Structure 1
Amino acid sequence: MSIQSPWSFEKVSTKKVSEFIREQLEEAIILKELMSEDQLPSERELSQIFNASRITVREALASLESKGLIEKRVGAKGGTFVLPVTANSHKRTREEIKRDWEQMLKVFEYRSIVEPESAFLAAERITAGELELLQSYVDQSMEPECTREWFRALDVKFHLTIAKASGNPYCEAAVRKIRTKINPALDLMPYDENVRSVNCDVHMEILEALKARDRNKSRDVMKRHVSFAAEAIYSRLVAGD
């Protein structure tokens, strides 16, 4: 006999410890906090960090390796190294993006609420140090030698810094979750001088609004920016234009 409950409780689900470890490492890689060619701590060190067995850590690393996010190298300079996410974006096909597009739309809808309001709050609360950081990210992204991988990393850093500058840890946590979801799609987007120019221009526009402490403009430009990103992904990866 099934019991009808008036409450919306979630059913209990068990998550393996290795999945918990894998998720944290994968998030750090997707958010470019661990960059290409960064060496991960040894299995022994990771087991201490996560307070887990080496077998459990090894299982988590094997999962990351199967996704093309890390590779193990042998020899004198061996170890476990992060691979360029954008270089392995072929592992996430256009068909996968299409299949999950309805879910991705919900993420972008959520983003269109969270990031503009974070920018609105940041315009009032951002520090001089955070403004300098944002300026450095824009400047680096405009340098001719800026690689695709570093460009994607700078984009993430720019948005996460604004979320942190909002002074609201819930906004920051939300943007981290959003970027973890959408970065794989963004990593499939083309990278050329035009893409870089358009992105730098709008980032500069957001930065100028933040410097001017213009809350409404900061929110409006950010809203336009995130809307453009959703449309660009749809056009390139879903509609197939």
Structure 2
Amino acid sequence: MQFEKVSAKKVSDFILEQLEEAIILKDFLAEEQLPTERELAAVFKASRLAVREALSELEGKGLIEKRIGAKGGTFVLPLTINSHQRTREEVRGGWDDMLKVFEYRSIIEPEAAYLTAKRISTAELELLRGFIETSMEEDCTREIFRSLDVKFHLSIAKASGNDYFEKAVRKIRTKINPALDLMPYNENVRRTSYDKHMLLLDALHAGDGNGAKEAMQQHIDETVHAIYARVVVEGDS
């Protein structure tokens, strides 16, 4: 039998992990103000000291910024602005592990899409369509675009009706979002994303499980190649 070694973990570490995940998955958007220390302490049922330690770690990672003054507070920084400096080498250094995450993703998300095609409601279809259409609006910023992409994929997993798929996709996106935030943002990128997402939405709307599974698989494969070209090939050159 194989057992994992027991390791002491501070309360602040648990708080850090949850807040970092929420920021990476765009639950908190750029320039959005986080709850106060007192409010976070109440949410996590922890001491303000533990919350303060977690926030200090987030600030050190360049994810948040504390501001003083009448409109002061703790604000989320735009991930995609500083991601090139912060994560390119991290992604390249952990590329072997990233490939394992993509292998896992290529199993989980296509299967989730298959189930979703059989179970998705009209309201959920309209929600997905709304994400796609908003991503093509002229005032859609890079941060909003990335947020909509995350919401699109998480919503498909949720619509599968299987909590395990939803949790798995959330964990997957936490791992790959730093790499996705390195991708360029322009009209061609938006159009390509629109076309791929619409192809998937059409299959879901038609209740075509195999079509949805195939569209998701193709989308994932192209994403892997795009990230590799951006992070590894461009980095080497």
Q: TM-score range by the shorter chain?
A: over 0.9
What do the CA deviations read for 1:135-184 (whole angstroms, capped 9, x no partner)? 00000011121110000000000000000001100000000000000000
CA offset digits 1:175-199 (Å, max 9, x no partner): 0000000000000111111111001
Aligned to 1:85: 79
**Cα distance in 2 for residues equivalent to 1:158 and 1:50:** 28
Coordinate RMSD, CA, aligned: 0.9
For residue 190 of structure 2, what is the amino acid of its counterpart?
R
Q: How does 1:203-218 map to 2 (within 5 A)?
A: 203-218=197-212
The aligned counterpart of 2:62 is 68
What amino acid maps onto 1:203 in structure 2? H
Equivalent in 9, 20, 27 of residue 21 of structure 2: 27
One-letter amino acid of the structure 1 residue matched with residue 33 of structure 2? Q
Which amino acid is the alignment partner of residue 208 of structure 1? D
In the alignment, does 2:232 pair up with 1:238? yes
Partner of 1:3: none
Match of 1:222 in 2: 216
C-alpha separation in 2, matches of 1:194 and 1:90 = 20
Q: CA deviation at 1:95?
A: 2.2
Measured in 2, the distance between the counterparts of 1:11 and 1:70 equals: 32
TM-superposed CA distance for 1:127, in Å, is 0.9
Measure, in 2, the Cα distance between the counterparts of 1:158 and 1:89: 22
Q: How far apart are the structure 1 equivalents of 2:15 and 2:87?
A: 25
**Could you list the runs of 5+ residues in structure 1 that have no partner in the other structure?**
1-6
Task: Return 5+ residue gaps in structure 2 as ranges.
Answer: none
> Take 2:21 and 2:111, find their aligned partners in 1: how far apart are those partners?
23
Confirm or deny that 1:131 pairs with 2:125: yes
Counterpart of 1:184 in structure 2 is 178
CA distance in 1: counterparts of 2:223 and 2:84, whole angstroms: 20
Q: Of 172, 182, 189, which residue of structure 2 is paired with 1:195?
A: 189
Q: Percent identity?
A: 65
- Pairwise mapping of residues 80-159 of structure 1 onto structure 2 (< 5 A)? 80-159=74-153
Instruction: Indicate whether 1:57 and 2:51 are aligned.
Output: yes
Q: Structure 1 residue 165 and structure 2 residue 124: aligned?
A: no
Pair member with larger Rg: 1
1:8 has 2:14 as partner: no
Superposed displacement of residue 91, structure 1: 3.7
Note if contact 2:115-2:160 (Cα within 8 Å) is conserved in structure 1.
yes
Please say if residues 116 and 156 of structure 2, whose CA atoms lie closer than 8 Å, have aligned partners that are also in contact: yes
Q: CA contact under 8 A between 2:125 and 2:201: conserved in structure 1?
A: yes
Distance 2:175 2:196 in 1: 22
CA distance in structure 1 between the partners assigned to 2:161 and 2:87 by the alignment = 37
Give the SS at the match of 1:146: coil
| Structure 2 length-normalised TM | 0.97
Equivalenced residues, count: 235
**Structure number having the greater helix percentage:** 2
Residue type of the alignment partner of 1:22: L
Shift in Å at residue 11 of structure 1? Answer: 1.1
